[in-house]
Chains A and B, each alone.
Chain A
Amino acid sequence: MDETTSDDPPPRPWDEEEPREIEEDGPTRVSAWPLVVALGLTVSEVGVFMGVYPLAVGGLVLFVASVAGITHEAGYTRRPWRLAGALGVVLVAAGVWMVSTQVPLAVDPVVTAVERADGIVLRGVSVVGAGVVSVVGAAIVSAMGDGTNDTFPA
């Protein structure tokens, strides 16, 4: 412990257990993700609550992606895209639930509700949309990776 005088963190347990190139090479006191997580949370909150659907979808996608990114960076998951996909599924479920509180879950009633601009149904649909974008996006990106690119392992 001759490093007690320094302010440097000792290697965190997960840094050692899961050797990953970035973490070893790169600085340990820097992360681009927190800012993005905060931004994603803010934008999605405003988007969903105020019923600004583009913001809702974009914010949620940003939030999902950044949560996946930061947990990966911190070493809590090896496969961020899978986590992103899973979070997308959660969003789809949440959105479907929101819609289901208002109208029966069938095509016609939902379409009519959307047409008469029912606020809650529209919000639910936007959450579903964000979930779908996340799932599809995660799938595409992880399919593009060949499994050896460790920056974004699928």
Chain B
Amino acid sequence: MAVEQLALTVLMGILLVAVAGLVSRMVDWRSYTPLGGASAIGGSGYGGGHAEKPAGIVRWFTTVDHKDIGILYGIYALVAFFWGGAAVLLMRAELAAPGFDIMEAAFYNSLLTSHGITMLFLFGTPIIAAFSNYFIPLLIGADDMAFPRINAIAFWLLPPGAILIWAGFFTAPLGLGIDPAQTSWTMYTPLSAEQANAGVDLMLLGLHLTGVSATMGAINFIATIFTERGDDVNWANLDIFSWTILTQSALILFAFPLLGSALIMLLLDRNFATTFFAVEGGSPILWQHLFWFFGHPEVYILVLPPMGLVSWILPKFSGRKLFGFKFVVYSTLAIGVLSFGVWAHHMFSTGMDPRIRASFMAVSLAIAIPSAVKTFNWITTMWNGRLRLTAPMLFCIGFISNFVIGGITGVFLAAIPVDLVLHDTYYVVGHFHYIVMGMIAFAGMGALYYWFPIVTGRMYQRTLAKWHFWLSMIGTNITFFAFLVLGYLGMPRRYATYQFDGAIAPLAQVTTLHQISTVGAFIIGIGQVVWAWNMVQSWYEGPEVEDADPWNLKDDGMFGREFQWFEAQKLAADGGEEEVATDGGGVRPDGGYRRAVRRVDDE
């Protein structure tokens, strides 16, 4: 013990010295930076002159530029996506046959927990933050986020958060007795309070950090959208993506601090013998209430911005403006409010008072309306439109199609009698995967393709993108439709095996359906490999976009503000070069523009 502490002290000392050294180097470098951008009055912006942003890796560790931070969020989210995807492919492999074949129950449970938490907190939230950081300031005509440094802090809390959440997987082989958590993403007590494993504490701490990060980001977005709008943007012409991010941020502001508090209560229960969630104390059900009071808004925190992305992108390839724009705005706000009145639909079978349960059913049915309204708006937007089936558009259409199934299954589950039958079966898993994979991931992919030219200055490979779409779409529907059927057959969720008594469920059919969904999962996996290849290769070698309007949006009067910004950058880059040549100083911060477009070459 003493030795350990000593070693740690030394380590800590080294860390402190390293940090001090790093920072002082940074400060030195800052003070000695020549006034490279004397010409660039009004800000020494985006690499404005190479002197102003450090080169190489240091730039990424020190940036407070919203676009750079957006890229960092994106890369982070995609790393997490592959971690969570790898975990689930192992699980699906295990489930291809009824018995224990390739892993033990403990490892399956660890993967299950890691998959859920990773996908929701480390992929879902950050991939949305990637788009909002990069594009909200451009869409509302702001110079940057309201608090650029807080923005950077919010991002940098995430990597340590992920390391803590995944810690058990790294430390388990070392034999320290710190194993991955097996709590599932809902962390239900008493199970989570009683698992004596420091890995659970580390995961809870990591989650807490990601919650702090999300809250900081939300405050920043609210401040930005309220106060940093350009002169020509007000509530009447604020774009739909910004509306959804505003609503999402409000939800985060109310939901995440509550999760943080509940996590700390759980940590106290685990380590300091408090009894918040003990049977003889606050009761395990208290955890469920607190968790779902956060948890249901969380699902809308995850889905509203993707809905905004689709509402923004879909019209671009339909040749028509979004049908009923205001409907979409108001129904977004409605979802935001109502999502706080439905949490106990996750707890219908906990034996709560039937009167209260009925109320939660009522509000849950009401919340389905604003969701359905959007679906009809999207369909009507496409109706008689001039559709162009580009990759982003395909993902938008897939999104709508998946939402129809995901949403309707949700409404079924919101009806108490149906839920009592289907609760804790694969049906629930099918419901929310249609939404989280079928919508959130799809909208994210669509937006990645749509904005790829802006971010990289290059075009992706269209054929590969179509392959990616079709593999994802077919894989998703195979996998998760099989889940729905499995649920009807009574297959309970969260098990590594399914060796039923034939009287309970038809084992043969269940096995077949599991195999089908394993196949589907691997199809999705192959699709994502295609996509990863496409992204990386196109980023380095894709054809440069010559024109600031790669989607021909001007033809339809759909040239959005972010592409207008892109065009301005390109114009300035071309024009700027001449000016530099003529008057040597240049009146524009041209270096930045060139950089924005040709970042790939520079690095």
Contacts and interface: CB of A to CB of B under 8 A. Distances in A.
B152 A31 contact: yes
B234 interface: no
Given A7-B565, A35-B156, A22 B12 contact: no
Interface stretch (B59-67, B290-298, B463-471): B59-67
A119 B268 CA distance: 12
A59 B209 CA distance: 14
Interface string B134-170: 0001100101100011101101110011001000000
B219 to A, nearest CB: 15
Interface in A19-33: 21-22, 25-33
A32 B46 CA distance: 16
Contact of B143 (A8, A37, A61): A8
Contacts of A120: 272
Contacts, number: 178
Given A6-B588, A32-B27, A69-B23, A39 B156 contact: yes
A41 interface: yes
Interface string A54-73: 11011101100000011001
B46 A8 contact: yes
A49 B26 CA distance: 31
B203 to A, nearest CB: 12
B31 A39 contact: no
Nearest to A45: B205
Contacts of B51: 27
B592 interface: yes
B30 A26 contact: yes
A6 B9 contact: no
B33 A27 contact: yes
Contacts of B48: 8
A84 B231 CA distance: 39
Q: Interface majority SS on B: helix, strand, loop or mixed? A: helix
B536 interface: no
Interface string A71-96: 00110000000000000000000000
A52 B43 CA distance: 44
B201 interface: yes
B11 to A, nearest CB: 7
Nearest to A70: B149
A32 B23 contact: yes
Contact of A36 (B8, B12, B19, B565): B19
A37 B153 contact: yes
Nearest to A29: B65
A27 B13 contact: no
Contacts of B67: 7
Given A29-B53, A33-B23, A34-B149, A10 B43 contact: yes
A19 B205 CA distance: 40
Given A6-B589, A7-B143, A38-B157, A29 B45 contact: yes
A11 to B, nearest CB: 7
A3 B9 CA distance: 51
A142 interface: no
Task: Give the interface centre of A26, A32, A70 by most chain B CB atoms within 10 Å.
Answer: A32
Interface residues of B, number: 73
Interface residues of A, number: 50
Contacts of A57: 12
B27 A8 contact: no
A151 interface: yes
B572 A5 contact: yes
B35 interface: yes
B198 interface: yes
A31 B45 contact: no
Given A31-B62, A32-B62, A25 B30 contact: yes
A36 B9 contact: no
B1 to A, nearest CB: 9
Task: Give the interface centre of A4, A8, A29 by most chain B CB atoms within 10 Å.
Answer: A29
A85 B157 CA distance: 24
A50 interface: yes
Contacts of B8: 52, 54-55
Contacts of A31: 62, 64, 148-149, 152
A42 interface: yes
B202 interface: yes
A6 B568 CA distance: 8
A33 B31 CA distance: 15
Nearest to B6: A54
Given A7-B67, A30-B62, A38 B592 contact: no
Contacts of A13: none
A14 B31 CA distance: 19
19 contacts: A3-B43, A6-B593, A7-B45, A7-B596, A8-B43, A8-B143, A26-B33, A27-B52, A27-B53, A28-B43, A29-B53, A32-B22, A32-B23, A43-B15, A58-B9, A59-B12, A62-B15, A62-B16, A74-B149
Given A6-B568, A29-B65, A119-B271, 4 more contacts: A8-B40, A30-B53, A36-B19, A54-B5
**The 10 residue pairs across chains A and B that have the minimum distance between CB atoms:** A8-B43, A8-B45, A34-B152, A38-B156, A58-B12, A32-B26, A26-B30, A42-B160, A54-B9, A5-B568
